[in-house]
Amino acid sequence: MKPLAPLLLSLLFLTSQTVLSFKRDEFRNCHQTPFCKRARSRSPGACTLTPHSISISNGDLTATLLSKTDEKIRPLILSLSVYQDGILRLKIDEDYNQPDPPVPKRRFQVPDVILPELESSKLWLQRLSTETVDGESSPSTVVYLSDGYDAVLRHDPFEIYIRDKKSGNQKLISLNSHQLFDFEQLRVKQKKQDSDNDEDSGSDDNWEERFRSHTDTRPYGPQSISFDVSFYNAEFVSGIPEHATSLALKPTRGPGVEKDSEPYRLFNLDVFEYLNESPFGLYGSIPLMISHGKEGRSAGFFWLNAAEMQIDVLGDGWDAESGIELVKQKRIDTFWMSEAGIVDAFFFVGPGPKDVVKQYTSVTGRPSMPQLFSIAYHQCRWNYRDEEDVENVDAKFDEHDIPYDVLWLDIEHTDGKRYFTWDPVLFPNPEEMQKKLAAKGRHMVTIVDPHIKRDDSFRLHKEATEKGYYVRDASGKDFDGWCWPGSSSYLDMVNPEIRSWWGDKFSYENYVGSTPSLYIWNDMNEPSVFNGPEVSMPRDALHHGGIEHRELHNAYGYYFHMATSNGLLKRGGGNDRPFVLSRAFFPGSQRYGSVWTGDNTADWDHLRVSVPMILTLGLSGISFSGADVGGFFGNPEPELLVRWYQLGAFYPFFRAHAHQDTKRREPWLFGEKNTRLIREAIHVRYMLLPYFYTLFREANTTGIPVMRPLWMEFPSDQITFSNDEAFMVGSSLLVQGIYTERAKYVSVYLPGKELWYDIRTGAAYKGGKTHKLEAKEESVPAFQRAGTIIPRKDRLRRSSTQMVNDPYTLVIALNSSQAAEGELYIDDGKSYEFLQGAYIHRRFVFANGKLTSTNLAPSSSSKSQFSSKSILERIILLGYSPGPKNALIEPANQEVEVELGPLMLEGGRGSSVVTIRKPAVQVSDDWTIKIL
């Protein structure tokens, strides 16, 4: 047994994790981070490398980088690869064939992120051309990238850039234009007596780093990489989640920026009550940056690296005294610093913002197609107490006519924080509990975290110990850290064998008490270690293959997410789409499930910042994301809670969640009026599920996110560039949040030249101007774009699964040409049969007074087919000029009435709208409906 005093101290420590707010001194800043401090002290022009022996090898441009001034610096190997659709890949690594002195080990290259099929799109270079560009004194090597673009390797000074031949050979993106490239090479510490003057035996600062009471050893010395990247003709840059900041990234260095400002940090951390408007790194890291300019031009840069990264956005004039001559183009300069790894970077030429996201997700993977239930409403709390509590909450939703699809259980449902178990007193009949929910078409999610309780009576721990499946500490022992169960160890998910073993734990045999309607939540997978440096795992912990934790830290949660998702896939025989929510993320996480923005707070600022955070995730490939509705910490006032539901109903992932120390806040606990307002907000989400599901399919096939910045749909409209309080849902809906208490009015900018229609009232508003609107308590402003058609389901049920065969409504918002178009995607909502062609995909076009439905699904000889019993119940015409008449349905040759009817069956306000009632055509068929 543990002595009493240490046990009490540990319990107090764990308890403190639930109540402490963010404290800056618990986390490192750049000055306390050796590689960041060193890199930021470098001056432009410091790089001494030049490329030599430039040639073609295996279809790539290859070169050796040598220092002009220091022969002791080992050569580096550079390669440039070209892929279809304007993608350039740059790799720089050490030369492992160098004999004297040899490289002590291979640097870590992140596996399992880049899609294997990327290689099939590689363009094998056949020749290189040498040019002297723009009168420069030294030559450059030029390779074809795609129509209109070249990749240029400048020899002296060393630089790589993409030039746009359609714009007079202007630069688009460049690396090392300011000569800040630095690559610290691996070393082995020499014994002092062997070489008293050898720099490798010097200061211990090279071989270890300290923060507060923690010391991490650095057995190979400093190994950081840093370089500058410039985006030309750019008005702003965005991306690099996760930070609670504006969508357009603000400068972190340069004139007018505080002297002690911090870079944007990418280091996955368990941060409770994180700060608003801070560059501090949160739970996930995606080193992708996207630039955008006045002409609607976008470009992207992605560095595949799992070590801690710090990124500066440099303000105009930061380099005023550098003396470096640059092309006279407007540009945004950035500075990228990483603790370890290699350069494995991708340049994306766009040209539009959607093109950049498509290019990035063609490299790291498209988002997975979610199950239909998972895009509906989720109810979560830390914690629902017991089976009786679950049953009561479920019944109350029905009593108050509020639909929901998923009820969640946090850590307290387990037997002593042992995952895959149930508390025998509080949850004695888990299968029966889940089956009661499933009978109403509902599902359950339980939490499974990466820390495993060190308890010899716990079978999972015993097996992991015997097999040697835990991450090890620097001395080679199983790493022992503190988390919710107390003393815990962490599975080494980098090892494919361990991921496969973990996946087997989700079988019904191993996860006793689970059923087919149970899905999973991965929390704390940054990984969170309460007694570790910065509440994280020490950097010198060791993984499979001798990899240091510092080299892969940001990918740990990604591998855990991957293993869990694959486990559910295995459980379902390969044909049940997994649902796994993860807090930590990395490039490629979109292939395995959804994420959320972590432990936010019940205040207006966190409601406000949720929008740019989710938008940034979408730009970075992770379309299925959301923020805790109501705020995780604190007790929201009813007005804030209602406004959060009204906005959250448009998040891709829609979940309410709350801390165990907060007051209960289920939707019916705030009085009849607020219950009605929350009910109406949730009803809007269920009504729009067909539209959302169609957008998720678009994301699954193209990477284009469900929730989008205004400038993604209106890329040349400069007024949208700084607007991250409003957003688009797909290309058809614009939503404006209300972020201030007791707001009387709200300003809404509606882009474009066409009209916008209020989705609740049908009122029309002109595009291209800002409207001052009354802040109505019933909803946040939301508008349908003229020229679009949105599919809805207006009959409201207990859950989405009970809506499957319900009829559809089409809302047609006509533009100035009295035309509109839209799409509808339907499949079985749960399996992978859609990959074999078992789906319905319809295109609707309204023109010349006629609505036409045509098939978008490819003809298939596959045996997999999907049919729908659903019919079209109503067609609503917004902005239709003539008065009501009859309509002719073909090929049935049947006439139906055109009349006035309500825009929304429930909760709607405003005048009646032109409606074609009960056309009763099959949603899966070809047909036309002509207004007579």
Active site residues: 523, 526, 599
Please name the amino acid found at residue 729. Answer: V
Nearest to 377 by CA among 594, 636, 648, 697: 648
In the DSSP assignment, the letter for residue 645 is H
> How far is the CA of 559 from the CAs of 79, 103, 493, 498, 529, in angstroms?
27, 28, 6, 10, 17
Helix (H) or strand (E) holding 897: strand 894-901
Nearest-angstrom CA–CA distance, 855 and 283: 42
Nearest to 406 by CA among 580, 565, 532, 148: 580
Q: Which residues partner with 452 through β-bridges?
A: 489
What is the 3-class SS of 84-128, one letter each residue? CCCEEEEEEEECCCCCCCCCCCCCCCCCCCCCHHHHHHEECCCCC
Nearest-angstrom CA–CA distance, 154 and 537: 41
> How far is the CA of 709 from the CAs of 478, 613, 619, 717, 736, in angstroms?
45, 11, 9, 12, 12
Q: Which residues partner with 772 through β-bridges?
A: 747
Phi, psi of 119 (to 5 degrees): -60, -30
**Helix (H, G, I), strand (E, B), or coil: what is residue 39?**
helix
Conformational region of residue 848, where left means phi above 0, alpha means psi within -120 to 50, and beta covers everything else: left
Strands of 287-342, DSSP E: 288-292, 298-303, 309-314, 331-338
> How far is the CA of 724 from the CAs of 80, 249, 675, 781, 872, in angstroms?
36, 11, 29, 15, 36
Can you read off the two tokens belonging to residue 359? 């290019």
Can you read off the two tokens belonging to residue 200? 């490798």
Please name the amino acid found at residue 666. Answer: E
Entry field: residues in the chain: 932
Q: What count of other Cβ atoms lies within 10 Å of the Cβ of residue 508?
A: 13
Can you read off the two tokens belonging to residue 30? 């750049």
